[in-house]
Amino acid sequence: MIKKLFIATLFTFTSSHLIAAAYPTINPVPGGIATIDLGSEFKPSTKVYFQKKRVLIKRDENNAWQALVGLPLKIKPGNHKVTIVKNNGTKSIRTFAVADKDYETRHITIKNKRMVSPTKKDIDRHYKEKPLIVAALKKWSDNNNVQTDFTSPVKGRFSSIFGLKRIYNNQKRIRRHTGLDIAAPQGTSITSPAKGTVIRTGSYFFTGNTVFIDHGQGLITMYCHLNKTDVKAGQQLEQGQKIGTVGMTGRVSGPHLHWVVSLNNTKVDPKLFLNLNDTKK
């Protein structure tokens, strides 16, 4: 069964990757993306839900409708379900398989104690800011043409991968890295990876100067630790448009972009949206 699942995964990956180079790359593992072919069941008014969260629907390269499901890092490998709700209220269930993935563990030593164990004041500030961040990542906007082939927001080295298990100063707790870090000098331009609308900008304890972009149907991107922000809430963006510059605001040890991609309010691997041959410069 496990072997079969692996082969099926490999086949899906290779076929979508080589034949049409469609993005995101489908990789149904924790932190990855599953695809459900909606076929004849689909009507424009149909809604698809995974774990009660609405899911993005788009046409694939063959013009067939599919649902793209963001899978949490904590999801258990095995079979999972989406619920398809038609306009008249009829529900149907579709099953899909999630394979396992091993993520690397890294031990990190940080000398600045406040960065590992924030003070009570820091934590109080974080709890005031958290609802704004949660609301931005939860946003749903209807959009029939969501752009999912991204360009890299910064040209630079991936200094910390998505999903990494990080243990700080030998503390017991494992923290997962839920974004992709791209290292670049302070002041390097950050650009929007796709068409979208700025949801909000702000300055937060952990993430520093931050920008949230809504690309439609629950596909949200977040940019952290900016030196300068060049956009405002409500602003429409084109792919490649500058949104700010790389900095080291918030809880960081050096200049880099911490980039988050969220699909159905679930943080997934940003690399799945990139043509990696384009980013090697």
Site string for Zn ion, 153-182 (x = CB under 5 A): --------------------------x-x-
CB of 125 to Zn ion, least distance (A): 20
- What residues between 187 and 246 interact with Zn ion by CB under 5 A? none
Is residue 185 reached through a cis peptide bond, with omega within 30 degrees of 0 on the bond before it? no
DSSP character string of 93-150: EEEEEE------EEEE--S-HHHHS--HHHHHHHHHHHHHHHHHHH-----SS----B
CB of 168 to Zn ion, least distance (A): 13
Name the residue type at position 188: T
Q: How far apart are the first and last CA of the chain?
A: 40
Q: Which is nearer to Zn ion, 153 or 216 (CB)?
A: 153
Write the CA distances from 174 to 28, 171, 184, 220, integer angstroms.
23, 8, 26, 25
Q: Which is nearer to Zn ion, 156 or 179 (CB)?
A: 179
Q: Number of residues in contact with Zn ion, rule: CB under 5 A?
A: 3
Binding of Zn ion at residue 269 (CB under 5 A)? no
Give 117's contacts (C-beta < 8 A, 6+ positions apart): none
Return d(Cα 205, Cα 6) in angstroms, integer.
41
Return d(Cα 130, Cα 150) in angstroms, integer.
27
CB of 7 to Zn ion, least distance (A): 33
CB of 177 to Zn ion, least distance (A): 6
Q: Which is nearer to Zn ion, 58 or 225 (CB)?
A: 225
205-230 burial code (b ≥16 CB/10 A, e <16) = bbbbbbbbbbbbbbbbbbbbbbbebe
* Span from 10-18, 34-42, 124-132, 256-264 in contact with Zn ion (CB under 5 A): 256-264
Q: Which is nearer to Zn ion, 85 or 248 (CB)?
A: 248
| Contact criterion met (CB below 8 Å) for 217 and 140 | yes
Q: Which of 58, 251, 258, 271 binds Zn ion (CB under 5 A)?
A: 258
* Span from 57-65, 201-209, 246-254, 257-265 in contact with Zn ion (CB under 5 A): 257-265
CB of 15 to Zn ion, least distance (A): 32
Which spans in the chain are helix H? 2-15, 113-116, 120-138, 276-279
CB of 181 to Zn ion, least distance (A): 4
Nearest residue to Zn ion on Cβ basis: 258
| Residues belonging to the chain | 281
CB of 164 to Zn ion, least distance (A): 9
Q: Which is nearer to Zn ion, 27 or 207 (CB)?
A: 207
Where along the sequence are the contacts to Zn ion (CB under 5 A)?
179, 181, 258
